[in-house]
Structure 1
Amino acid sequence: MSNLTDMEIFARVVSAGSMSAAGREMNLSPAVISKRIRRLEDKLGTRLLQRTTRQIAMTESGLGFYERVVAILASVEEAEAFVSRGSAQARGTLKVAAPTSFGRLHIAPHLGDFLSQNPDLSVSLDLDDGFVDIVGEGYDLAIRIAELSDSSLVARKLAPVHRILVASPAYIAKFGVPASIEDMAENHVCLAAANQDPWRLMGPEGVVTVRTGAPVKTNSSEVVRECLLAGVGIALRSTWDIGPELRDGRLRLILPQYRASKDVGLHAVYPSRRFLPAKVRVFIDYFAGLYGASPYWDTGLETWLGPVEEARAS
């Protein structure tokens, strides 16, 4: 148990950012914490932390060790819960990170039902469109809409993501419908946030690249959405974001033979671990069941989405 306690102290120091802050949380003096960290480093034969008078920083070995310690401590917590309550009951606080628009539209509205099914659980939901360091920032899991790269994290796909070209009736009335992908690129306003330029689209001729350009420059996908609805230009949007507007006619499909070329999906991403904490498992299971291979936001759009696979197969 002494080694486990030293690992727990190490994890608390990293999450708190300093030995003094960790000491206040654990009611231990900085001297005691420093001694425990040194003992752990001596046992492992490597330095885990670079220390200064004001802060600490992990070494490369320390970072890898911390990722594994967090997994071990989570497994211990779940084991204790299983023994004390007779089952792997989801309890405690689940810290989740998600993209801003998706979290607002498709996570927040369902939290009431999710929490009613898991009364011993609370959720801390942080919405951010930037990259989140799950381990370093202490998240239990993150929702990501991306083509995932290889990493030490585990990912479970929750739903497919279809991205299509759309414009408002006001824009079409003023500028017309593009006759071709070349016409759109040369003669139309293509709206995109800074990190979404250029577009890579799959069409009958294969992958094509479209450089966007618009009178509005922004880093916000939500600003692009509002400009789209206001008739400023054409945009490449996910159906989870604009499904209702497509169904009620506020937006119309443009060049249906083209789709985003990347195989993007909606994923739950969490630290690699052998035993998944119950609180993480129930969250992922709930939303995987809610979304699925045919998510509710695509209801009524199936015929429009048909050409996606045809375009990618060509």
Structure 2
Amino acid sequence: MSNLTDMEIFARVVTAGSMSAAGREMSLSPAVVSKRIRRLEDRLGTRLLQRTTRQIALTEAGQGFYDRVLAILASVEEAETFVTRGSAQARGTLKVSAPTSFGRLHVAPHLGRFLEANPDLSLNLDLSDDFVDIVGDGYDLAIRIAELSDSSLVARRLAPVHRVLCAAPAYLARQGEPTSLQDLIDNHVRIAAAAQDPWRLVGPHGPEIVRVSAPLRTNSSEVVREAVIAGVGIALRSTWDIGPELREGKLRIVLPAFRASKEVGLHAVYPSRRFLPAKVRVFIDFLAQLYGPAPYWDAGLEQWLSETPHSATAAE
């Protein structure tokens, strides 16, 4: 076996979490995997992995080597794809992280079409609302809904994200519709997950901050979604999350002159590499075509979304 194959085995052991699991994925015995790791360590003159009976862990040198090996393997894959681009399809395993609700609603339903178009590719989709360590946890890319900060990662914008104040008709029939921001603050139930308190809005008079005060406390955005549909109160929600409910009349937009002031977008985020692996490129292209600057979940809301609040600050 070549030194490159030894690096491939090493990377697979780290990703899989054990030598036996890596061996199963590569159709190698654990003894062969262990022998190749030892050969690599002997050649480098340093220990890369700390081994116990139950798990493995990267040494400091192993972590730095692993990060660089991933870039090397990606470049090799890209070089091979470049040569055979005319006939080859993306292949291998693609590991993706996505937010829980968005992944369930807007990624999972479309995976059949993507996998059918890429039969040599398998997909490992993890749903989590945490910002995963893309490089450290071995992800090829992550789908993130955020205002991204500068980092060594590369981000491609997939779609805008619009957030609106909304309530169920039953709540509005019971409490009345707020007529002003002060009315919202003084007389209405405002519900949000802990991480979304306070609301930062923009309206006719510029930026506004509204604290959430409600009988319901939760760390789950999905709980807030179900509560607002059930008529508990008023919430600030993304249209990708409640588009069908708005179109069907289960929810109504309130105080349409106010929107979330923080510019948030839907992004595909991946490690900074000179050569983007074909499997990552085809998935990002698929998502960009699927969503785009006018995503399907905003269908029927275009007229309202095209109206900008009476403020110098634009918001999505």
Q: Under a length normalisation based on structure 2, what TM-score does the superposition of the two structures give?
A: 0.86
The Cα shift of 1:112 comes to 2.1
> Matches of 2:125 and 2:23 in 1, distance apart?
27
For residues 186 and 152 of structure 1, do their structure 2 counterparts lie closer, same or farther at Cα, with a shift above 3 Å needed? Answer: same
Structure 2 segments unaligned to the other structure (5+ residues): none
Amino acid across the alignment from 1:39: R
> Matches of 2:101 and 2:171 in 1, distance apart?
23
> Matches of 2:20 and 2:76 in 1, distance apart?
25
* Alignment partner, residue 161 of structure 2: 161
* Alignment partner, residue 147 of structure 1: 147
The Cα shift of 1:79 comes to 3.2
Which structure 2 residues correspond to residues 30-41 of structure 1 after superposition, within 5 A?
Answer: 30=34, 33-40=37-44
The Cα shift of 1:206 comes to 2.3
Mean alpha-carbon deviation: is it higher for 122-131 or for 264-273?
122-131
* Alignment partner, residue 302 of structure 2: 302
> Matches of 1:65 and 1:309 in 2, distance apart?
51
Amino acid across the alignment from 1:51: Q
Which structure 2 residues correspond to residues 171-210 of structure 1 after superposition, within 5 A?
Answer: 171-210=171-210
> Matches of 1:29 and 1:239 in 2, distance apart?
49
Deviations 1:121-142 (A, max 9, x none): 2322222222222222222211
The Cα shift of 1:108 comes to 1.6
Deviations 1:235-291 (A, max 9, x none): 100111111111221111111111111110000111111111111111111110121
Q: Count how many residue pairs are aligned between Structure 1 and Structure 2.
A: 309
Amino acid across the alignment from 2:206: G
Structure 1 segments unaligned to the other structure (5+ residues): none
Percentage identity across paired residues of the two chains: 71
Mean alpha-carbon deviation: is it higher for 273-282 or for 212-221?
212-221
> Matches of 1:88 and 1:51 in 2, distance apart?
38
User: RMSD of the TM alignment (CA)?
Assistant: 2.7
> Matches of 2:116 and 2:230 in 1, distance apart?
38
The Cα shift of 1:35 comes to 4.6
Mean alpha-carbon deviation: is it higher for 6-15 or for 175-184?
6-15
Q: Under a length normalisation based on structure 1, what TM-score does the superposition of the two structures give?
A: 0.87
Task: Give yes or no for contact 1:13–1:21 (8 Å, CA) kept in 2.
Answer: yes
Amino acid across the alignment from 2:38: S
The Cα shift of 1:198 comes to 1.5
Task: Give yes or no for contact 2:203–2:309 (8 Å, CA) kept in 1.
Answer: no
Mean alpha-carbon deviation: is it higher for 6-15 or for 127-136?
6-15
Q: Is 1:280–2:280 an aligned residue pair?
A: yes
Which structure 2 residues correspond to residues 54-73 of structure 1 after superposition, within 5 A?
Answer: 55-58=55-58, 62-73=62-73
SS of residue matched to 1:77: helix
